[in-house]
Structure 1
Amino acid sequence: MSKFKQLYKPLLDNAQWETPLSLAIEGTAFGHWLLEPNSLSRRLQRHCDEFTVSLIEQKKIDSTMLSADERELIGDVDCLLRKVVLMGDGQPWVFARTLIPLSTLTGQESDLEQLGEMPLGFRVFTDRSARRDALEVANTGTQAQPLWARRSRLWINNKPLLVAELFLAQAPVYSKEKQC
């Protein structure tokens, strides 16, 4: 699974994040996926018989490892870094990188550090206080062969975390079939 980190992390690192409005994606088939306000994991789960998460890496990182725009979104804070691949029927669909400030990992949210191979969305979106903002999108591929990504800040009990998700080539976001 380290190949995912080597291949796809640079795409997220170098993404030119833009607002969804500036890319005019609303109303498009892939736009429905990128603009999903609720759990992406739950939505992906509806498109396969077996939905799994493969934990690639989880470690604490110093705030100096954050980019300037990441610090702007979640603060100049030390974080728990979590990288996973979301898979449907054994096919890699999404490479995700989550930054969880250590200050978020307090109280009820201390369990976020123990998710292992459980989808983050399953935990976050069971909480009534969960919300998403600061949504940005990017095409990290080409016009002919797009690889869409999104980044958003999630809030749970008024505590932030930052999630970046890269939709891999086999993800249902690119399917011509009915999108749900």
Structure 2
Amino acid sequence: MSEFKQLYKPLLDGANWQQPDQLGIEGTEIGHWLLEQDSLSRRFQRHCEAFTVSLIEQVKISHAALTNDERALIGDEDCLLRKVVLQGDGQPWVFARTLIPISTLTGQERDLEQLGEMPLGFRVFTDRSGRRDALVVADVGTDTQPLWARRSRLWINEKPLLVAELFLAQAPIYGKEKQC
């Protein structure tokens, strides 16, 4: 799984994040996926027999490792960094990188540190206070092979998290949707 970090983390790091309306994706099939406001994991579950999450890395990082954009969205503090791959029927669909400020990991949200291979979206969007904002998107692929990514801030009990998701080539976002 370390190849995911080597191959895909640089793509997220180099993303030119833009507002969705700047890219003309609203109302398109890709737009429906990228602009999803609810749990992406729940949506993925409807497109496969077996939806799984593989935890690649989970470590605490210093606030100095955050970009200026990240600090502006979640504050200037140390974070728990979580990297996972979401898979449908054994196929890698999304590489996700989540930053959870240490102050978010208090009270009821302490359990976010113990998610393991449970999807973050299941936890956030089962809570009535769960919501998404600050959604931006980027095409980090090539002219012949688009690879779409999105970054959004999630809130749970008014505590922020920042999630960047790279939709890999086998993800249903690039093909016809089908119900399984």
TM-score normalized by the length of structure 2: 0.98
**Distance in 1 separating the partners of 2:117 and 2:109:** 17
Deviations 1:45-103 (A, max 9, x none): 11000000000000000000001100111111100000000000000000000000000
Conserved 8 A contact 2:47-2:177: no
In the aligned structure 2, how far is the partner of 1:17 from the partner of 1:177? 26
Task: Please name the residue that 2:46 is paired with.
Answer: 46
Cα distance in 1 for residues equivalent to 2:122 and 2:143: 32
Who is 1:134 aligned against? 134
TM-align CA RMSD: 1.2
User: Counterpart of 2:70?
Assistant: 70
Structure 1 runs of 4+ with >6 Å offset: none
SS at match of 2:116: coil
Q: Conserved in 1, the CA contact under 8 Å of 2:63 and 2:76? A: yes
Tell me if the contact between 1:105 and 1:113 (Cα under 8 Å) persists in the aligned partners: yes
Amino acid of the residue matched to residue 35 of structure 2?
Answer: L
Partner of 2:10: 10
User: CA offsets, 1:109-166, max 9 Å, x none?
Assistant: 0000000000000101000001100000000002321000000000000000000000
CA–CA distance in structure 2, aligned partners of residues 118 and 11 of structure 1: 24
Q: Supply the distance in 2 between the matched residues of 1:149 and 1:75 (Cα, whole angstroms).
A: 22
> Cα offset for 1:176?
2.6
TM-score normalised to the size of structure 1?
0.98
Provide structure 1 residue ranges, at least 5 long, that are not aligned to the other structure. none
Which residue identity is paired with 1:26? E
Instruction: Say whether the 8 Å CA contact 2:60–2:78 is kept in structure 1.
Output: yes
Cα distance in 2, alignment partners of residues 141 and 16 from structure 1: 11
Contact 1:29–1:179 (8 Å) recurs in 2 = no
Q: What is the one-letter code of the residue matched to 2:44?
A: L
Specify the SS of the correspondent of 1:55. strand
Match of 2:97 in 1: 97
Q: SS where residue 93 of structure 1 aligns?
A: strand
CA positional deviation for 1:177? 3.8
User: Residue 138 of structure 1 aligns to a residue in which SS?
Assistant: strand
**Helix, strand or coil for the counterpart of 1:44?**
helix
The one-letter code sitting in structure 2 at the alignment partner of 1:11 is: L
1:39 aligned partner, one-letter code: S
Residue 173 of structure 1 is matched in structure 2 by: 173
Counterpart code for 2:147? L
Within 5 Å, give how 1:73-152 maps onto structure 2: 73-152=73-152
Aligned-residue offset at 1:179: 8.1
Is contact 2:19–2:137 with CA below 8 Å preserved after alignment? yes
